[in-house]
Chain A
Amino acid sequence: MKSLMLQSIFGPPATEKAPAPSGQALEELARNVDKSARRLLGRSLSIREVDAGSCNGCELEIHAIGNAIYDASRFGLHFSASPRHVDVLLVTGPVSRNMKVALERTWAATPGPKWVVAAGDCACNGCVFAGSYACVGRVSDVLPVDLHIPGCPPRPKDLLCGLLALLAA
């Protein structure tokens, strides 16, 4: 373990250079979020991830942005265990009807000002689950969504670019 630690200290970092915030996301945010809210949220964001019926693909990639290579925490992006502590709800999945109430309650428990990010094709448009008896279909049908990050699942870099836009907006 010692040699690995020394390697980590003196060797080059595993973490890669920061990607630029997504231009498309910046535009969407400029439309949706007013300046005062942005000022209040400051330079770091606390995030609560809510799986609203995803296949787990999005969760795997959201996990990945926390690894040593993407290292989301260097930008001030933190995942929090409670919605009471967060600025952002990061929602995945086609909002299964069995998860709708839990999603709404999580939103209600989050203090304002707050942003909702719909991550992944399911959250954006229902993907292959659109029209199912068991799904609502889009997060924006349940909550006001400020930012969409498409992809099935979105790559970690796309997730980072989108979340960085929240900090830059």
Chain B
Amino acid sequence: MSTEQTRQKQGLIQLLRANGQEQRAQRGAPRFRIDAAMWEELGGRLGKGLDLMGLWADAQDVHMALFAPDEKDFAIVSLAVEDGAFPSIGARHPAAIRLERAIQDLYGHGARGLPDGRPWLDHGAWPIRHPLNEKADAAQSGEEKDETQDYAFLPVEGEGVHEIPVGPVHAGIIEPGHFRFSCAGETVVRLEERLGYTHKGVERLMQGKPPAEAARIAARTCGDSTVAYSFAFARACEAALEVEVPPRAAWLRALMAELERLANHLGDTGAICNDAAFAFLHAHFGVLREDVLRAADTCFGHRLMMDCIVPGGVARDLDAEKGAHVLQLLLDSLDERLEKLVEIYDTTASLQDRVRNTGRLSPALAQGFAAGGYVGRASGRAFDARLSLPYPPYDSLAVKMHVMHKGDVNARVWVRIHEIRESIGLVRTIMHNMPQGDLTAELPGNTAQVREGVAVVEGFRGDVLAWLRLDEEGLVARCHLRDPSWFQWPLLEAVIYGNIVADFPLCNKSFNCSYSGHDL
């Protein structure tokens, strides 16, 4: 057997132990320093039984988070940046291309061999280049220009092909981004996305802040997933500082996470129907979403539960009487109303005609890009961080994963409907089994050593990854937050191919990728 074959048989962690040095500061998952040859070998394995979970940099290194689904191994590998460059993963695995373009923009580290060298987050409007790399802080003009005029969109040639530019200001009440459609008649032959408009400099803002303050920024990275982001950031902090949160705090976190999932799934299911011009369900699902948000408000004092999860635990307890009562009412009313709406969704021919076979994502692409959330699960990728990388309290809750294979708009809606049902059950279980006890554990302030933590949390949209490094004084030295949308946005481009322009809103809403979470 060749060395190559032996290596293929080894588990991921085993392989990395043999070929890298484990970094002691890292908690939450092991991190290995590897050499360029190993880096490239791993890059070649991505999408073939090895999932890319994240790719980011700091001033000296590039880091890559990997997940091996078979043995459920999760690890980070790091490679030193030499002469300002590193071997491109994007050259071997397309899902990494945008992440590397972002690294180039933020740090100035060159990805050697990257097939697409255009800037991604940097639109030329910032006063500095490479804002995260203190050494390379070079001034740029920061001049105000219409970025979409200058960006070199991929050319499309052929008789009668025309372009439709859309955005960054969209027709609806949604986030900004630019879509360039190239069409032949009604049919889309290429969609190219241009994102980065909502880049706010989240990662640099977090640097030098104590975890409690940085957590407020993490909570505002992506408003619809504020609970998931706070959850992931807090768990990364706690991993770094080796703090265990009290059981009650963990259960309350899960309660918030499930309420957030419910609110988003309900609202989006209605909005998808609306994009198929079926306003009736939009109105009804909108009322259900509002009910969930109001219950969250009563229970935790904020409709979106922003800042309710803090490093060390939770900021608010569930009011024993009022909270439990409101949740009970919510669950009862959802039970009564949800299934009627689901039946209408499933039996209205005009609606089904729009959602079936529209925007199909092949299982091969979903697998290759390691697409998380309902996008992956509607195309056969059985990954849910609550099950695949279990964390408290989900390690003691029986979560059921719903996987479908057709990958069309309808499948994504159905995965969400199943998850709504599942979350209703989970909220009920959590309410009945929530332990009593403290809400926070104290975090050590000054640790006298560099510490690192990583965490993956399942938000409504998919897995959110948070990695952070705390310096000797316990301040954030570097934090990276990876939204699930990084691996979903590129697939939307593939999905719309061959569909008609009018079905784009439908496909887009069924993905519902985040702009702000992706742009940071």
Contact = CB atoms under 8 A, between A and B. Distances in A.
Contacts, number: 151
A128 B216 contact: yes
A155 interface: yes
Contact of B197 (A58, A59, A102, A127): A102
A93 interface: yes
B217 A51 contact: no
Nearest to B145: A101
A56 B146 CA distance: 23
Contacts of A101: 125, 144-147
Given A58-B223, A67-B286, A153-B223, A53 B200 contact: yes
A17 B63 CA distance: 54
Contact of A134 (B200, B224, B284): B200
Given A59-B223, A102-B169, A134 B126 contact: yes
A68 interface: yes
22 contacts: A4-B284, A4-B344, A5-B280, A53-B197, A53-B516, A57-B224, A57-B306, A58-B223, A59-B173, A60-B224, A64-B290, A68-B286, A93-B198, A94-B200, A98-B125, A101-B125, A102-B176, A128-B220, A129-B201, A133-B131, A134-B199, A134-B200
Interface in B124-147: 125-128, 131, 142, 144-147
Interface string A54-81: 1111111111101111000000000101
A100 interface: yes
Given A5-B280, A97-B126, 13 more contacts: A55-B223, A56-B223, A59-B173, A64-B289, A67-B283, A93-B198, A97-B125, A99-B198, A101-B146, A131-B205, A132-B200, A134-B199, A153-B223
A135 interface: yes
A108 interface: no
B294 to A, nearest CB: 9
A96 B202 CA distance: 11
Contacts of A57: 220, 223-224, 226, 304, 306
B432 interface: no
B198 A51 contact: yes
A61 B128 CA distance: 34
Interface string A1-20: 10111000000001000000
Given A57-B220, A62-B173, A79-B173, A99 B226 contact: no
**Chain B interface main SS type:** loop
A143 interface: no
Instruction: Please classify the interface of chain A as helix (H, G, I), strand (E, B), loop, or mixed, using the class held by over half of its residues.
Output: mixed
A53 B198 contact: yes
Contact of B223 (A54, A64, A106): A54
A82 B174 CA distance: 13
Interface residues of A, number: 51
A94 B202 CA distance: 12
A49 interface: yes
Interface string A133-165: 111000000000000000011010000000000
A50 B131 contact: no
B247 interface: no
Nearest to A56: B223
A59 B125 contact: no
A132 B224 contact: no
Given A55-B516, A57-B306, A69-B290, A133 B127 contact: yes
Given A96-B199, A96-B200, A100-B125, A54 B516 contact: yes
Interface in B470-510: none
Contact of A132 (B171, B204, B514): B204
Interface string B135-179: 000000010111100000000000000000000110111111000
